Structure 1
Amino acid sequence: DWANFYNYTANTDWMNAVTQSGNAANHELSFSGGNEKNRLYGSVNYRDETGTTINTSTKRLLNRLNFEHYFTKKLTLALNLSYGNSKDDCNSVDILDMAFKKAPHMSIWKYDAVGELTGGYFTNSSTYQGNSWDTQNPVAISETENALRSTNNFMTTAHLQYSVNDWLRFRETFSYNILSSETKKQLPYSMSDKGYMQFRNEIHAFVKVPFKEEQINSLNATFTWVRQDENISEKGANEYNANYTNSYKQSYNRKKNAIVSSVNYKLYNRYILTVNARMESNSMAEDSYKWDKFYGASLAWRFSEEPLFKNTILNNGLIHAGYSYSTYHPDLGFSSYHLYSQNGSNLDPIFNPNYNNVNSPVNYTIHIPSYDAGLELGLFDNRLHISTDYYYKKLDNQYHLPTKNQIIELTDKGWEGSFDFSIVNRKNLSWSLQFNIAQNEQLLDKLTNLAGTKPAEYDNGVYGTYVAEGKPLGSIYGFKNEGVYASNEVAYARGRDGNIYYNNGEPLPTKYGQYYTYKGGDTKYKDINYDGTIDDADLVYLGNSNPTYTGGFGSTVQFRNITLTCNFHYRTGNKVINQTAMEAEGLYGKNNMSKKMLNRWRVQGQQEEGLMPRADLNNFYNYLPSDRYVESGSFVRMNYLNLGYAFGKNACRKMLVKDLSLNLSGQRLYTYSKYSGLNPETEISHNYLSESNYDHSRISPPEVYTVSIRITI
């Protein structure tokens, strides 16, 4: 007799309902021509793409036109024009997240009391899961409430070059960039209109000192002056409900000036000295801190040019080392302007300007001394190339957001290496291998204020980000998970000897701080100090978010007109927090759950392999951050595979074309990893002082297959 019986007895795969196979079509037409005085090149590119989420698409048009004119041998002019337009149709809200949480027994379509479809979506304002936006029907939201974003970008650049003689040349560059973006959303209603204009002027002077014996000495210098003006504006409105709309308008101007110089000296093409300097001012900085400065120098020895290495397997050998020192003030605020916003409701549309004074940045300077050294080798007629580099950078007085009261000193060091080996190089057959590897480490040398502190609360699934001097950034801290308490008796507090703690003859239960008493079916966390309480003292090191090694490898094989190329990417040694699994296995709410929760604790004494904690509404204590959701993020992924065929000249001549080629390619075709989540390749954070490496994926990264044809007429 319940009117909504058929609306609440479905078996809906919500993720499947909001995802689809995406398609993309890319069309490009280019042309070129000219004579001794003029050269012309142009291209038109149009891309039409549908996303892997329903009702998402992108249409993009890009036009380019390049023109060069030679007035004389000494005076040339080059013009570069480009215009781009893109239209994005996307969802107003994150429907993937909505579908991930949506209860599966709820229907997409609305049924009447006898089970007949009504022709509409099941979109009750209040459902089993609540009445917030993220519990609504994601299919209905996507179909009826969308967001449109339109972007236009016009850029023009002019280069005027004059060669005084063989050793002195001047070039001036003017560029003008206009960017506008308009976004409209329907749920909830909002609109924004952003504009950006940039004018840039560069004057270069190139000097080549005319030595009598250039094979012995070579000196080149470049001097550059840069001026850049920017104007950024934004206006829009946000509707919070039917009676209240907030509108805003803001803009600012910024000017930059820079002076850049570079000098390069070579002796016998063996000994090389390079000196660089740069000074840059920013109108948004405080007056006494206007100029950022950079100085650098490097030495190189091309030892392969020494007589000792002539007529050997060594074709190129270079050792280089450098030092640089830079100082700058952090661009954390905009002290040169203020923002104004206007607020008013639809019922009382009174213009109400709010004066928002943006805080000025703290007046201090960041100092960054850095060192680097490297080796380059070319062997066996340059069939084997090997290179390796080491760098060491020190950051003093680093300003850390968002606390704005921490001064930190960091050491950033690492190394990288690569080789490229042409194994076979014949007329109709070639085969080459490539490999690269890199390691980076950031150490905290000094931290003022809050040094070595941990977050006090862990009941919200947030992992601790403990930082200490001399330790690497990105460390993850949490509790040790030891399974599930089989019964209330097993949950009693115990000492190191395994004996139960008693108080006046009564056994003491294990507690989480002073808030919660653990029972049968709850998660068992290791009591590190055996005090009967799970708290900060029981946190342990669970791993580091930073990978030990990153890199890639690949190979290219060419036989006659057929070319096969494959590239792999890898990452090892890092840990990933599987936030997706934590949310899907945390049976503390009414959201959709993982199938693993079917094997959850239900009765006292239940104890079996793989048992999940009990269901407990609104209780987060069973899902505190622990090693259960910290997994190895190591992986090897086939990033790219391409098979190409180039038609021969005779075949092209018969088809009245100059060149014709066909390519079949695929991206992200295979990933090897022990990680149980959807995507081990999480984004590496630049702020491991205050966050860890979380995987919030709702779907796996898509595989992309491409068929392309290239024709030259």
Structure 2
Amino acid sequence: MLMAAITHAQQINYVKGKVIDKKDKQPIIGASVVIIDKDKRVIKGVSTDIDGNYSLPVADKTYRISVSYIGYKSTTGVAIDRPVINFQLESENNQMEEVQIVSRAKAATGSGMVIDKRDQTSSTVTIDAKELEDMQAASIDQALQGRMAGVDITASTGDPGAPMQIRIRGTSSINGATDPLIVLDGMPYDITIPSDFDFATSDENNYGQLLNIAPSDIKEISVLKDAAATAVWGSRGANGVLVITTKRGSIGPPAISYNFKGSYSKQPSPIPMLNGNQYSSLILEEFYNAGRQFSTTEFAKEFQYDKNDPYNYYNYSNNTDWLAAITRVGYLQDHNLSISGGGEKARYRASVNYFNQNGTTIGTDLNRISARVNLDYVVSEKIRFTSDFAYTHIDQNALYNPLGGRDRIRETAYTKMPNQSLYEYDEYGNLTDNFFSPAATAQGAYSATFNPLAMASAGINHQLGERITPKFSLQYKIIPELIFNGSFLVNINNTKVKTFLPQIATGRPFTESVVNTAFDQDGDSFTMNTSMNLAYSPTLGPKHNLIAFLRFDSEDSRRASQYLLATNTASSFLTDPSVDSRTNLSNSTSSAFNQSRSVGLLATAQYKFLDRYIINAGIRGDGNSKFGAGNRYGVFPSISTRWRISGEPFMKRTDKYIDDFSLRASYGKSGNAPRYDYTFYNIYQNYGFSYLGNAGVYSTNLELSNLKWETVTQSNVGITLNMFKRLYIDFDLYRKRTTDLFYEDLAVPTYNGYSTVDMNVGTMDNQGWEFNVTGTVMKSQKFRWDMSFNIAHNENVIREVSPLYPRENKGRVTQNNVYKVFVQENNPFGSFYGFKFKGVYKDKNSTIAVDENGNQIVGPNGDKVYMRFAYPSIDYVFQPGDAIYEDINHDGNIDYKDIVYLGNGNPKITGGFGTAFTINGNLKLSVNFSFRTGYDIINGTKISTTNMYSFNNQSTAVLRRWKKEGDETDMPRAIYGGGYNFLGSDRYIEDGSFVRLRSLGLKYDFAKNLMKRIGMKSISANVIVENILTFTKYTGQDPEVPIKLNGSNTVVDNSTTPPIKTVTLGLTANF
């Protein structure tokens, strides 16, 4: 036994050596060196150290050695015939630059139409996820803000799990889809909002489906922008394509990586509000200006301040900061563990992620558990197989929003009377633990007002989500020049929503139906995608290169939902809507089912001559079940070219400093399908009355059998310039025109039996330019300075509007706080219209109407004509201290004829810039900014906090209000329930332009020799602060406000939770 052991030990030999770059002879740090057996299975492996050295035991003379490193050609199957084997790896530019012109996502699995990046003829932009790995983000789109030219990303709110809104080259549809297609590892990733989703009563912020993809699993992100780039994805790519490639295993021993991020966050400073004493004085002034006697009897409990009545005195003599009461410091923890490796035959990567975030508003949090397994297996030289499996569990608590209002709790917190207590005092003046939620106050009753803290703490809005996504792919090399790829994906998604409104949150009596309202909704979706393609790359000689590509796609999507609503359950602890109601009110139930199918066939080819002249042409046919039989199929062509000028003989002298100088051009069409299913059917409902005891039915809509594809036609010209192997510049000009726009609710004569109809009419343009530059300013062994800058301009214009569009009705305004939003030729989509605010009438004389020459207008009897509002329907005469609105036609009457264009929410300029300094290869300081300019915001918070019209609290801005004749100010008088001082006007339209410091980070990689001593590959630590500085003139909470998703395309600040400021500490360990 002893001799056998000694003999075995003597058979174990070691092989060592060094791995260097073949060109510059520099050591390659972290290269994978593995020992493999005759079946190409990995036996043992190491990574090269800081000097490129390696050492491995060899137990069998038949073993061989392989070396690989990202960006270099691998050396495989080298016989171990000597104790020292050195390797020189050759750079493989194609591997690093390989990109798919129209099917970029296939690069991860080696299938699809793969070409060199230097040969792409379309407009695309790619970012490596390594550039984003130090940022803290719940979803990858958060980290992309300001990083890509022409890609405008805004946060919907600052609450956990809230999605980002993505627009690529503007908004190209009015009532169709506007979000880009998400492609994950070569297959469409369903984030479609259900067709029965009601934007008027629901919260679209719940649809942040990119939350299901852990950022730590992502390798790179590409954005396809023009028609040639998006051709492979057909109609679904009409708004651009966001391609996400996840990480996969590589040859080598098991590599274990752990990453932790922990952060604290807080909201930016809120708008300062009046305290209790200032508020009380304001209310008295409102009543005085309204000519009303403030009755201490009518509002005794709120304003009497009588210590002899301790209950009301203590409950209504406070200085409560309601917004501070529902705000807290948020925290976050993010853990990710992964293992990867493999041999020549099989490779694997598995990861698990746990993400937990407590929001900065009480009652908001997000928990996510996700897992992903990616497997690659080489069956033979001709057959390769991949299998991916992803699972995500999301547990989210959001604010309960009464009546479906968006962030109604924060809006109420701003305007809640500050003299009211958070918690109830008893009749002896003792503070209790009960929320103070009276049935009614001077401000009204639920739902007009409520205790925001009680609603945030006790109201339930709980959402559970489960998503399972298995995917299988097969690659078969029929002949070396002809490769078949087939993929099959199933996306199974279940979402459960439970909301409950307890009595304590409303303050209403237990007998009322609104109390203890319980709602449960269960939604399931099942999507099946298949893809099959053939790629043909014949050998045509050194001057010619041809790639032909044929692809077929299909999708079958089914969605089902059901909900149960019950009111007035017996107890606040009975949150299930299936329980009996106290007042025997009937429960409400509903269910829905939707199914849609689509197919697509693409034929495309790319030809290159002399490595200088490149042309790509393709044609795509799409079919979609959302259309009637006559228009179900659409055909969309595309063509793109590239001329590499730097390859011309006359440019030979520039080879030393110009790596690539090319002109690009593309033209193509794509289609867009409607949001709704079954548009070509008549939908029937029960009629609410009976005749002779028989119930009836009626048709609710016209049959839209002639509805057809929206067509997006896009042209693009661009320049690519790469210099000194360190400077990369791209510039693009584009024009995108959408014709046959989907218009909803167009007026038709009622003798048809219907009042409105949906149809294809209208044209919209988006045109602009994009500029992107990245480069390395300085580079040495001890110091590196990188920089990046991108900027994009987009102009959106409506070119044609249907003659059936009800323009006249869109223009009339007869009440405060109303803006008109309608579609008009030569103005952008999302424009808003209203009055021009000119100041405040300082005295009686200033209220006299004047003509266009500034002369006072005199009536027929010689009397002075005073300015009026909405004569003769309302006929309000403006008084000193009232708001002045511009009388456009100088008729002395402010009415719909004085409504003008005020602005729109589409940014004219977007972009970002950043820089990074790396010292000694292990200390990195990075800074990134983003900016948006030239867009307008309706400051809804300003409207509600400066109108001085009711018992609502107001901001400290009203302290400069008009109080007596002669006062010159821009703040009108306070008047309870009267006047028209807050009509929709440019008084509340503000420029939302901003420049924001998105991130400031410092990262340190611990020394390699230290890692070697403790048996680890690497450890890095970093600290990053985000959103700490914002430069803006906007006076609201925050200028980053998303476009509303209800078809109006407007930007309104309604007190949603603003983007938060965050400090994050991170640690990454690789074993």
TM-score of Structure 1 vs Structure 2, range by shorter chain: over 0.9
Deviation, structure 1 residue 53: 0.7
For the pair 1:277 / 2:277, whether they are aligned, the reply is no
Alignment CA distance shift 1:405-1:117 (3 Å): same
Query: Within the alignment, does 1:534 sit opposite 2:887 as a pair?
Result: no
For residue 267 of structure 1, the aligned residue among 585, 609, 612 is 609
Corresponding position: 1:392 with 2:735: yes
Counterpart of 1:493?
849
Structure 2: distance between partners of 1:389 and 1:620: 52
- SS for the counterpart of 2:380 is coil
Q: TM-score, normalised by structure 1?
A: 0.93
Distance, in Å, in 2 between the alignment partners of 1:556 and 1:354 is 68
Q: Does 1:67 align with 2:379?
A: no
Per residue, is there more strand in 1 or in 2?
A: 1
Give the AA of the match of 1:447.
Answer: V
Q: How far off its partner does 1:493 sit?
A: 2.5
Distance, in Å, in 1 between the alignment partners of 2:699 and 2:333 is 46
Residues 246 and 342, structure 1, Cα contact 8 Å, conserved in 2: no
| DSSP-derived class of the 1:363 partner | coil
Contact map agreement 1:249 1:341 (CA 8 A) in 2: no
Counterpart selection for 2:869 from 502, 512, 520:
512
* C-alpha distance 665-332 of structure 1, shift in aligned 2 (>3 A): same
How far, CA to CA, are the matches of 1:272 and 1:264 in structure 2? 7
Alignment of 1:231-250 (within 5 A): 231-240=558-567, 242=581, 243-250=585-592
After alignment, is 262-271 or 698-707 more displaced?
Answer: 698-707
| 1:349 equivalent in structure 2 | none
Cα separation, 1, equivalents of 2:468 and 2:698: 33
Q: Distance in 1 between matches of 2:1025 and 2:701?
A: 48
Distance 1:456 1:326, change over 3 A: same
1:687–1:375 distance in 2 versus 1, CA, 3 Å: farther
Out of 1011, 1017, 1035, the position equivalent to 1:676 is: 1035
Name which of structure 1's ranges 407-416 and 363-372 shifts more when overlaid on structure 2.
363-372
Q: 1:619 aligns with which of 968, 971, 978?
A: 978
Cα 1:175–1:492 shift into 2, 3 Å: same
Q: Distance in 2 between matches of 1:174 and 1:558?
A: 43
Letter in structure 1 aligned against 2:858:
Y
Q: 1:574 maps to what in 2?
A: 935
Local SS of the residue matching 1:133: coil
Letter in structure 1 aligned against 2:549: T
Using a 3 Å threshold, how does the CA distance of structure 1 residues 507 and 244 change in structure 2: closer, same or farther?
Answer: farther
Residue 644 (structure 1) aligned with residue 988 (structure 2): no
1:179 and 1:543, CA in 2 relative to 1: closer, same or farther beyond 3 A? Answer: closer
Where does residue 521 of structure 2 map in the other structure?
A: 192
Of 106, 110, 114 in structure 1, the residue corresponding to residue 424 of structure 2 is 110
CA distance in 2, matches of 1:343, 1:91: 37
Check conservation: 1:387, 1:417, Cα contact below 8 A: yes
CA RMSD of aligned residues (A): 2.6
The yes-or-no answer on 1:596 pairing with 2:910 is no
Quickly say closer, same or farther: Cα 1:29–1:455, change in 2 above 3 A. Answer: same
Aligned-partner residue type, residue 583 of structure 1: S
Aligned to 1:457: 813
Matched, 1:407 2:761: yes
Moved more, 448-457 or 418-427: 448-457
Kindly tell me: are residues 406 and 463 of structure 1, through their superposed partners in 2, closer, same or farther at Cα, counting changes over 3 Å?
farther
Structure whose residues are more often helix by fraction: 2
Q: Distance in 2 between matches of 1:5 and 1:639?
A: 47
Q: Which runs of 5+ in 2 are unaligned?
A: 1-307, 402-407, 502-516, 569-580, 689-694, 747-757
Corresponding residue for residue 1070 of structure 2: 712
Could you say which residue in structure 2 is the equivalent of 1:546? 906
Shift of 1:573: 2.3
Q: Does 2:663 match 1:303?
A: no
Secondary structure of residue in 2 paired with 1:163 = strand
| Alignment equivalent of 1:419, drawn from 750, 759, 773 | 773
- Going from structure 1 to structure 2, the CA distance change for 1:542 and 1:569 (only over 3 Å counts) comes to same
* Contact 1:340-1:353 at 8 Å conserved across structures: no
Equivalent residue number for residue 1014 of structure 2 = 655
Distance, in Å, in 1 between the alignment partners of 2:687 and 2:344 is 62
Match among 910, 913, 919 for residue 559 of structure 1: 919
* More divergent stretch after superposition (221-230 vs 456-465): 456-465
Residue of 49, 55, 58 corresponding to 2:357: 49
Tell me by how many angstroms 1:307 deviates. Answer: 1.8
Return the offset for 1:14. 0.3
> What is the distance in 1 between the residues matched to 2:761 and 2:603?
32
Deviations 1:446-467 (A, max 9, x none): 2122386552115242333465
Label 1:660 to 1:358 Cα distance change in 2 as closer, same or farther (>3 A). farther
Q: Secondary structure at the match of 1:627?
A: coil
Q: Deviations over 1:337-389 (max 9, x none)?
A: 79899999xxxxxxx9999867644614333332111110011x222211111
Is residue 285–residue 331 contact of structure 1 (8 Å, CA) maintained in 2? no
1:523 and 2:900 matched: no
Partner residue in 2 for 1:428? 782
Query: Does the 8 A contact of 1:431 with 1:555 survive in 2?
Result: yes
| Structure 2 CA distance for aligned equivalents of residues 134 and 342 of structure 1 | 34
Farther off after superposition, 262-271 or 625-634: 625-634
Give the Cα separation in 2 of the matches to 1:653 and 1:458: 76
Matched, 1:318 2:647: no
Which residue of structure 1 aligns with residue 479 of structure 2?
165
Q: Which among 465, 487, 495 is matched to residue 151 of structure 1?
A: 465
Q: Which residue identity does 2:433 align to in structure 1?
A: G
Q: Deviations over 1:260-303 (max 9, x none)?
A: 22211111111101012221212232111111322101111111
Change (3 A) 1:340 1:529: closer
Partner SS for 1:628: coil
Deviation at residue 130 of structure 1 after TM alignment: 0.8
Take 2:686 and 2:891, find their aligned partners in 1: how far apart are those partners?
Answer: 56
State the structure with bigger RCO (CA 8 A, min sep 6), 1 or 2. Answer: 2
CA contact (8 A) 2:628 2:707 kept: no
1:392 aligned counterpart, secondary structure: strand
1: CA distance between counterparts of 2:696 and 2:359? 41
Q: Which amino acid aligns with 1:592?
A: N
How many pairs align?
A: 700
Please state whether the residue corresponding to 1:322 is helix, strand or coil. Answer: strand
CA distance in 2, matches of 1:191, 1:314: 63
Counterparts in 2 of 1:447 and 1:358: CA distance versus 1, 3 Å: closer
2:631 equivalent to 1:289 = yes
Aligned-residue sequence identity (percent) comes to: 30
Instruction: Please list the CA deviations of residues 388-424 of structure 1 after superposition, one character each: whole Å capped at 9, or x if unmatched.
Output: 1111122222122354367211222111111113110
Q: Cα–Cα, structure 1 residues 342 and 505, in superposed 2: closer, same or farther, change >3 Å?
A: closer
**Deviates most, 579-588 or 276-285:** 276-285
User: Residue 321 of structure 2 corresponds to which residue in structure 1?
Assistant: 13
Instruction: Give the AA of the match of 1:12.
Output: T
Give yes or no for contact 1:463–1:692 (8 Å, CA) kept in 2. no
What residue number does 1:347 align with?
none
Give the secondary-structure state (helix, strand or coil) at the position aligned to 1:401: strand
Q: Which amino acid aligns with 1:70?
A: V
SS of structure 1 residue aligned to 2:521 = strand
C-alpha contact 1:201 1:227 (8 A) present in aligned 2: yes
Identify the match of residue 230 of structure 1 among 538, 554, 557: 557
Cα pair distance change 1:332/1:198, threshold 3 Å: closer
Equivalent of 2:544 in 217, 235, 258: 217
Give the drift of 1:310.
2.2
Structure 1: how far apart are the matches of 2:760 and 2:1007? 65
- Give the 3 Å change call, closer, same or farther, for CA 151–338 of structure 1 in structure 2: farther
Give the Å deviation of 1:50: 0.3
The 3-state SS of whatever aligns with 1:23 is: strand
